[in-house]
C-alpha cells in the first residue's frame, strides 16, 4: 500500500471503531430486560433485520476465501459461491419460520420446547461452542494480520498485540450492544461491503467494455490452465474421487452455513412469521448480489493480474479480493480511487470485527441462558451479568487460541466449523423441528456423534497434513480421501439421530411424540411465540 492509502486506512479504521462502539453504547440495553439483550425486542424492521442476517452470514472467510477460490480455480469457485447463496435460501424456505416460532433466545430453546432438560441444553451449548470457536479463531487471526499490515508491523509480538486488542474490541461489541447493537454493526458492514464491492466490480467490467464474455476469456488466459479453468474439476483434480469430493464440499457449505448458531439466532428477533419471511427475502437478495460481486472481482483479479501472481502472494488466494480491487484502477490511481480502495479495506476490517462479535454473542447467549441460568431462580439482572461474563470468557478463549494458531494455515479451522454445522447442528434442527418421534437420546447422539465424527475425520484430510497449504505441511498423516468431511459426517449425524431414536425406550419415545404434537402447531403454523407454551 502507498503511504497515502495507509494513512487514509488508519484514519478510516479509527472512525469506524469509534462509530461502532458509540452505536453499541447508544443502542445497548439500558435496563435488565432479557428480551432487549437477547433479541432487541424484535425492534428491527424486516429490511434492517434482513441486512443484519446477511451481515452475520457473510464472514471474512466468505469474502476472502471464496473470492480466492474463484480467482485460482475458476468454475469450481463459482459453484462454491452459488452454494453460499443456496445455503441461505435453504434456511429461508426450510428452517427460518419454524426456528422463529419454536425459539426464544437460543438454539437450546428450540429443541427444549419438545425435549426439556438440562442435558439437552448443555449438549446444544457444547455443539454451538465447537462449531463457532474455530471460525472465530480464523477471523481474529485475519483481523490481527490486517491491522498489523496497515500499521506496518512485522514483529510477531506486535501482531499478537493486534489480535488481543481487536479481540477486546469485539468482546465489547457483544457485551455492551447485545443483539441490537451487533445488528446495527452488521448492517453498516453489509452496506459498506456491497457498496464498495459493486463499484469495484463495475470498474472491472468497464476495463472489458462491459462484456462478461471478454472478462471470462481474459481470466482463462490469465489462469494458465486453459479451458479447464472454466470447467468443473480443477479444484479437486488431485483427489482420488473428484466428483464425490466436490459434492462433499458443496453439501458442507449448504447445510453448514444454514445451521451455524450466529446466523440462526437472528431468526428469533422477528416479531411475526411474516416479518421473518420478509427479512429472509432481503437477506437472500443481499447475499446473492454479493456473490455476483465476488465472482466478478475474482475473475477480474485473474484476468488483470494472473493466477500465478495471486498464488505467489497467497497460495490460498485470500488476498485476491484486495488485489482485484487494486487492479481495477489500472496503473495510475487518483485520490478518488485511493479513497475507494480505503473503503474496501475498511469494509473488510469491519467484516472481521462484526463477524466475531456476532459469534461471541451467540456463544455467550447459549452459555448464560442454556447452562448457567436454566433451571435456577435466576433474576434478569443476574442472567444479563452472566451473559456479559460469558462474552468475556468466550472472547478471551478465542483470542488465546487465535494467538496459538496464527502461524499455521487456518483453512482447516474454517472448514471444520462448516462441517460441524452440517454434521451435528443441521440434523438436530431438522429432526427436532419436523420429526414427531425424535427423542432426547436421538438428539444427544446426533450432536455428540456428529461433532466427534466430523472432528476425527477432519484430522485425516489434506487440509491438516500432506499438502503445501495444510496446517502441518511438513507431515503427512492423511487417511481420509476427501477435502471436507461432509460426505461421511453428514449421513453419520442423521443416521445417529435416527438410530438413537429407534433404540430409545418406548415410553420415552411416546412421551416425546406427545410433547411434539402439543407444540407442532406453534412450530409449523406460524403462531405467535408469546402465546406458545414454554418449556
* Local confidence pLDDT in tens for the 535 residues of the chain: 566 777 787 888 888 888 888 888 888 776 667 888 888 767 788 999 999 999 999 988 889 889 999 999 999 999 999 999 999 998 888 899 999 888 888 999 998 888 888 899 999 999 999 999 999 999 898 888 877 777 777 778 888 998 999 899 999 999 988 888 889 999 999 999 999 999 999 999 999 999 999 999 999 999 999 999 999 888 888 888 999 999 999 999 999 999 999 999 999 888 888 899 999 999 999 999 999 999 999 999 999 999 999 999 888 888 899 899 888 887 666 677 778 888 888 888 888 888 899 999 999 999 999 998 887 778 888 888 999 999 999 999 999 999 999 888 888 999 999 999 999 999 999 999 999 899 999 999 999 999 999 999 999 999 999 888 788 888 899 999 999 999 999 999 999 999 999 998 888 888 888 888 888 888 887 654 444 444 4
- Dihedral over Cα of 346, 185, 134, 169: its sign: positive
Q: Which three cell numbers stand for residue 127?
A: 455443539
Sketch the domain layout of the chain as residue ranges. Answer: 3-25+54-531
Angle (CA) 368 374 378, round 5°: 80
Rounded CA gap, 261 and 29, in Å? 22
Q: Which three cell numbers stand for residue 114?
A: 419438545
DSSP per-residue codes, 204-224: HHHHTTT-HHHHHHHHHHHHS
Q: Which three cell numbers stand for residue 318?
A: 485470500
Q: Comparing C-alpha atoms, which of 387, 393, 392 is closest to residue 368?
A: 387
Q: Comparing C-alpha atoms, which of 169, 246, 131, 191 is closest to residue 484?
A: 246
What pLDDT score was predicted for residue 401?
95
Q: Which residue has the cell 447442528?
A: 425
Q: Which three cell numbers stand for residue 59?
A: 464472514
The size of the chain, in residues, is 535
Rounded CA gap, 173 and 185, in Å? 9
Q: Comparing C-alpha atoms, which of 84, 102, 131 is closest to residue 413?
A: 131
Domain range 3-25+54-531, CATH architecture: Up-down Bundle (1.20)
pTM of the predicted model, to two decimals?
0.92
> CA end-to-end span of the chain, whole Å?
56
Kindly report, residue by residue over 298-312, the tens digit of the pLDDT.
Answer: 999 999 999 999 999
Element holding 149 (H helix, E strand): helix 118-151
Rounded CA gap, 324 and 400, in Å? 33
Rounded CA gap, 300 and 313, in Å? 16
Query: For residue 530, what are the contacts with CB-CB under 8 A and spacing of at least 6?
Result: none
The total of other beta-carbon atoms located within 10 Å of residue 37's CB is 28
SS3 content of the chain, % helix, strand, coil (to 5): 80, 0, 20
What pLDDT score was predicted for residue 16?
87
Q: Which three cell numbers stand for residue 529?
A: 411465540
Amino acid at each position: 500500500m502507498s503511504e497515502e492509502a495507509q494513512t487514509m486506512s488508519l484514519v478510516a479504521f479509527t472512525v469506524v471503531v469509534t462509530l461502532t462502539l458509540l452505536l453499541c453504547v447508544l443502542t445497548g440495553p439500558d435496563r435488565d430486560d432479557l428480551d432487549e439483550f437477547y433479541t432487541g425486542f424484535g425492534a428491527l424492521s424486516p429490511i434492517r433485520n434482513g441486512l443484519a442476517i446477511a451481515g452475520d452470514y457473510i464472514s471474512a472467510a466468505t469474502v476472502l476465501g471464496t473470492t480466492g477460490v474463484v480467482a485460482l480455480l475458476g468454475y469450481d469457485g463459482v459453484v462454491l459461491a452459488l452454494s453460499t447463496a443456496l445455503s441461505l435460501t435453504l434456511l429461508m424456505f426450510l428452517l427460518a419460520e419454524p426456528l422463529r416460532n419454536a425459539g426464544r433466545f437460543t438454539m437450546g430453546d428450540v429443541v427444549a420446547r419438545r425435549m426439556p432438560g438440562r442435558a439437552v441444553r448443555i449438549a446444544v451449548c457444547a455443539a454451538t461452542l465447537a462449531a463457532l470457536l474455530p471460525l472465530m479463531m480464523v477471523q481474529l487471526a485475519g483481523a490481527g494480520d490486517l491491522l498489523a499490515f496497515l500499521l506496518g508491523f512485522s514483529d510477531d509480538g506486535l501482531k499478537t498485540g493486534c489480535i488481543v486488542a481487536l479481540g477486546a474490541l469485539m468482546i465489547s461489541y457483544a457485551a455492551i450492544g447485545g443483539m441490537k447493537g451487533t445488528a446495527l454493526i452488521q448492517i453498516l458492514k453489509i452496506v459498506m461491503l456491497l457498496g464498495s464491492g459493486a463499484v469495484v466490480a463495475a470498474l472491472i467490467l468497464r476495463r472489458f467494455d462491459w462484456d462478461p464474455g471478454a472478462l471470462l476469456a481474459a481470466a482463462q488466459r490469465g489462469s494458465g490452465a486453459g479451458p479447464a479453468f472454466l470447467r468443473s474439476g480443477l479444484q479437486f483434480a488431485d483427489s482420488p474421487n473428484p466428483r464425490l469430493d466436490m459434492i462433499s464440499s458443496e453439501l458442507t457449505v449448504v447445510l453448514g452455513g444454514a445451521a451455524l448458531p450466529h446466523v440462526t439466532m437472528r431468526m428469533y428477533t422477528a416479531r411475526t412469521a411474516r416479518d421473518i419471511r420478509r427479512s429472509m427475502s432481503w437477506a437472500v437478495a443481499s447475499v446473492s448480489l454479493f456473490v455476483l460481486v465476488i465472482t466478478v472481482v475474482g475473475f477480474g483479479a485473474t484476468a488483470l493480474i494472473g493466477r500465478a501472481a495471486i498464488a505467489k502472494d497467497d497460495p490460498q488466494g485470500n488476498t485476491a479480493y484486495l488485489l482485484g480491487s487494486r487492479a481495477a484502477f489500472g496503473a495510475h490511481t487518483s485520490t478518488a480511487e485511493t479513497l475507494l480502495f480505503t473503503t474496501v479495506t475498511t469494509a473488510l476490517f469491519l467484516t472481521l470485527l462484526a463477524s466475531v462479535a456476532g459469534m461471541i454473542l451467540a456463544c455467550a447467549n447459549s452459555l448464560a441462558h442454556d447452562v448457567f441460568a436454566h433451571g435456577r431462580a435466576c433474576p434478569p439482572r443476574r442472567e444479563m451479568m452472566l451473559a456479559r461474563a460469558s462474552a468475556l470468557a468466550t472472547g478471551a478463549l478465542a483470542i488465546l487460541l487465535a494467538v496459538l494458531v496464527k502461524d499455521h494455515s487456518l483453512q482447516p479451522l474454517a472448514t471444520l466449523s462448516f462441517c460441524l454445522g452440517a454434521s451435528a447442528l443441521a440434523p438436530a434442527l431438522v429432526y427436532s423441528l419436523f420429526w414427531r418421534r425424535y427423542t432426547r437420546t436421538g438428539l444427544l447422539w446426533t450432536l455428540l456423534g456428529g461433532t466427534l465424527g466430523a472432528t476425527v475425520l477432519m484430522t485425516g484430510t489434506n487440509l491438516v497434513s500432506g499438502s503445501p497449504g495444510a496446517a502441518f505441511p511438513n507431515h503427512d498423516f492423511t487417511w481420509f480421501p476427501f477435502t471436507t468431511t461432509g460426505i461421511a459426517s453428514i449421513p453419520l449425524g442423521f443416521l445417529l439421530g435416527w438410530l438413537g431414536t429407534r433404540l430409545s425406550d418406548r415410553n420415552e419415545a411416546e412421551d416425546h411424540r406427545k410433547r411434539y404434537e402439543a407444540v407442532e402447531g406453534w412450530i409449523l403454523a406460524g403462531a405467535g411465540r408469546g402465546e406458545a407454551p414454554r418449556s
